[in-house]
A and B are shown apart, each in its own frame.
Chain A
Amino acid sequence: MSAFLALLFRNRLAAMGLAVIAVILLLAMATPLLPLHDPDVIATADRFMRPLSEGRLLGTDHLGRDLLSRLLHGTRLSLAVGIAAALIAAVIGSAIGIVAGYFGGRTDNVVMRGVDMLMAFPYILLALAIVAALGPGLMNALIAVAAVNVPFFARNIRGITVGLAGREFIDAARLAGMGHTRIILTELLPNVLPVIVIAMSTTVGWMILETAGLSFLGLGSQPPQADLGSMLGEARSAMISHPHTSIVPGLMIFLIVMSINLLGDGVRDALDPRLRSGALSRPRATTLVRRQGATPPATDDLLAVQDLRTEFQVGKRNYRAVGGVSLAVKPGESLGVIGESGSGKSVTALSVMGLVASPPGAITGGAVRFQGEDLIGAPYEALRQKRGDRVAYVFQDPLATLHPLYRVGQQLTETIRSHRNLSKSEARMRAIQLLNDVRIPNAERRVDDYPHEMSGGMRQRVGIAMALANEPDVIIADEPTTALDVTVQAQILCLLDDLRRERGLAIIFITHDFGVVAQLCDRIAVMYAGRIVEEGPTQAVLGAPAHPYTRRLIACVPELGGGRRELAAIPGLPPVLDDLPPGCAFAPRCTKAEESCRQGEIPLQGPALHAVRCLFPERAP
């Protein structure tokens, strides 16, 4: 709650709106207690007194009634009617929306078509019809305004509910024996309530305006009762001769609606979880660089990550996602980076081309050298030239990386044409050839498919084709087969392996699957809590793991052909990245840990090819 208020007040306009509406609400509530004239007493002798006259702060209207008194009573009434209408519309509309969204199918269809019909009427027409049926009066105006706004809530809430009703916790509630009513009330309602509040806060102002509109037309409050709309309506005839009679209620309507809308927008922004997590702050085109310390010297590797450090600053917490990682690949080489979630393997990969979102991410140390040239801190244009051209990425979920509204051919040609000066038709030929290269059958036809028309394996092949489009030197593949079925995975792995052999591609393959790295990679680096704990040739690392973490992680993975058995597990959880222990990060879960493991830096050392970050490495059997 306090976090919500802090966010709300950070938005100055919303804070101002809150202040104004608070004052108006206080005045409206205190109206009966204030020493005011009777709003309905007619004194024709005192008609049209100007504002600031003696005893009449805002003057009088055409019947000599005190304007200040009428204004405050009118505001009170208008606010009450507007808020009551909003509440009624919210309750009825949300109920309709939840029921339609939860039950779906025919119920949804019938209910929502009814709502659509209601929506098709212009509100004033609908209100006129309701008033004609029920007779004029404030109560009937309230009913009309509420009815007109029901569709807004119904449609909004239905949309949210449809998304929630498909979630697994609803199934779980059904399996726990809950009935429909109980699920709607205890499972769905708490989740849609914030949306209802947001929708209400943004529509109350509009409803006050609509009520005033009806009263202005004489369909709402009946004389002598004052509300803002009827005051405006009565003052209309004297608008030229005595403008203050219409300006006073007009200003009040303006203030109320304006402040409520500003406040409503603020509430929405503060409550919406997406906006709260900073979705509105657009990340920069490259990762922020705050490099401290010296830059390591260049090496002769094709791509070298040298002592890279990447951190995320979220609020007061500093997450050290990558804490000094060094990797290197030569042409035609394939390096596997293995680790569990949170080990920093993906952030390492994204840091290479400055793709880590900033804010909150920042590279705080080290270098990434492509053919000796440091990419960290390189100007955006230089990075953009290399992105997708010299160093290309393949990501885990091809459905998320392909644009759903463009044909795959268009996306491929765009990739090609942003780096090569080719005509559209040449680029298209190249796209077809690329699809052939990644073994997509009927490439000429499939080039015009949309991503959703392809299967997961096909889409991932398009992802690889896109990465290959400009014949890069390095491909960084971040869990490219995790979302795929095993038979498709085998095909994709074979494809990558062929490409590596045919074109001398260097591949950095990020995964959590030992089987995959064993088949594809020459070397393996094992990461834990943002650091490499072991690195060496695939056979050596998998055959005789030196770090206790590697050995036990391999033991956790069941292997086909092993039969029924108890699996080895690593007790405990990986450390949190904003509070890493000194010394070895694995020490709290390690059976061999001693006092010395918990102090000071432990270097990555060992025989030239097979290095390990451990004081008590496992002996080769």
Chain B
Amino acid sequence: MPALKVEHLAKTFPLKRPLFGAAPPGAHAVRPMSFQVETGETLGIVGESGCGKSTLARMLVGLLEPTGGTIEIEGKALGSASPAVFGKLIQYVFQDPQSSLNPRRTIRQVMEAPLKRLHGMPKPDRDKRIAEIFASVNLREEFLDRYPHEFSGGQAQRIGIARALAASPRIIVLDEPVSALDVSVQAQVLNLLSDLKARFGLTYLFITHDLAVVEAVSERVAVLYFGAIVEIGRAERIFASPRHPYTSLLAKSAPVVGRSLTAPEQKGSELPDPLNPPPGCAFAGRCRRATELCRAREPELKQMGENQLAACHHPLEH
């Protein structure tokens, strides 16, 4: 049984209705998408700004109500959005560790909330549990009575992870958990996350825009473009031998030591307009391989090679 099963999950943000006439169709932030994550797996989700990765994450934890589709966690279907129901099964680690902590609450108050509200734990049990969690994320217990502004970014992010752990979830959604941190601290947090996963048997959804990071921490990677999965496959294969031209573009754009500087793309190409999506493949406007077929019909995710799926009419060959 997969830890997480998502089917045809979609989100459309309604637009303001004009004074006269019918409401416009709305902005498609996430177009119907389906995927599964096995227990103990890390699924990386990459994409550029505006590709819908944060909207997807917020739907998965129940902070946003989907317009369509279902979310199933360990076989349990979760209906309407209610973070309190979702909270026990799936938790969230935010990008900006400082702004995810209430500046006027002590760390102890922050940590106690999920134990008290989600699990109804009495006070002595809570203290014991908090001590356990703090030990597992390498934080000293004396931090508990301090306020968030007293911590560095790396410490604050560990507090954020500790809070997510406190709910004893099965899955944690990590939304750019290290992009606000310095590289030397980034590695500390990434290693901590991988320890915790092994120790508590967690399943991760790791959202990031950094391909190198996602490759280093995930088993599988899904590439999002314009609110849809364009390619999904094994982390070690997907950037080395991408089938979708967009994945290839991403991989070529990442600055790598020892590779000379070349713009991998024609200048002046712009992203498609979410209010007025193009018919057919959303990437066609930026794609050198695009044909009439691409502009007319939207490609579906198809099996391409072992454990790799891509949505492209003219996939790259290797």
Contacts and interface: CB of A to CB of B under 8 A. Distances in A.
B177 interface: no
Contacts of A598: none
Given A169-B99, A494-B262, A569-B187, A514 B117 contact: no
A562 B102 contact: no
A485 B48 contact: yes
B103 interface: yes
A518 B265 contact: no
Given A177-B114, A571-B188, A519 B92 contact: no
Interface string B237-252: 0011000000001111
A456 B270 CA distance: 11
B184 A569 contact: yes
A330 interface: no
Interface string A471-502: 00000000000000111111101100100000
B239 A169 contact: no
Contacts, number: 200
Interface stretch (A127-135, A222-230, A550-558): A550-558
Residue picked from A182, A567, A571, most chain B C-beta under 10 Å? A567
A414 interface: no
B196 interface: no
A564 interface: yes
A315 interface: no
Interface in B211-256: 211-213, 215-219, 235-236, 239-240, 249-256
Interface in B90-126: 91-92, 94-96, 99-105, 110, 113-114, 117-118
Interface stretch (B29-37, B79-87, B308-316): B79-87
A571 B189 CA distance: 11
B66 interface: no
Contact of B94 (A171, A176, A564): A171
A341 B182 contact: yes
B257 A514 contact: yes
Given A487-B250, A493-B255, A570 B184 contact: yes
Nearest to B182: A340
A573 B163 CA distance: 22
Given A494-B262, A564-B236, A570-B184, 19 more contacts: A172-B160, A172-B163, A175-B114, A176-B113, A191-B103, A340-B184, A341-B182, A441-B268, A486-B255, A489-B253, A493-B255, A512-B182, A512-B183, A515-B255, A518-B257, A560-B215, A560-B251, A562-B215, A569-B188
Interface of A: 167-169, 171-179, 182, 186-187, 190-191, 340-341, 439-441, 455-456, 485-491, 493-494, 497, 512-516, 518-520, 542, 552-553, 556-571, 573-574
21 contacts: A168-B99, A171-B92, A172-B92, A177-B83, A177-B167, A178-B117, A191-B102, A340-B184, A439-B267, A486-B209, A494-B262, A512-B182, A556-B187, A560-B211, A560-B256, A561-B240, A564-B218, A564-B236, A569-B185, A570-B184, A574-B182
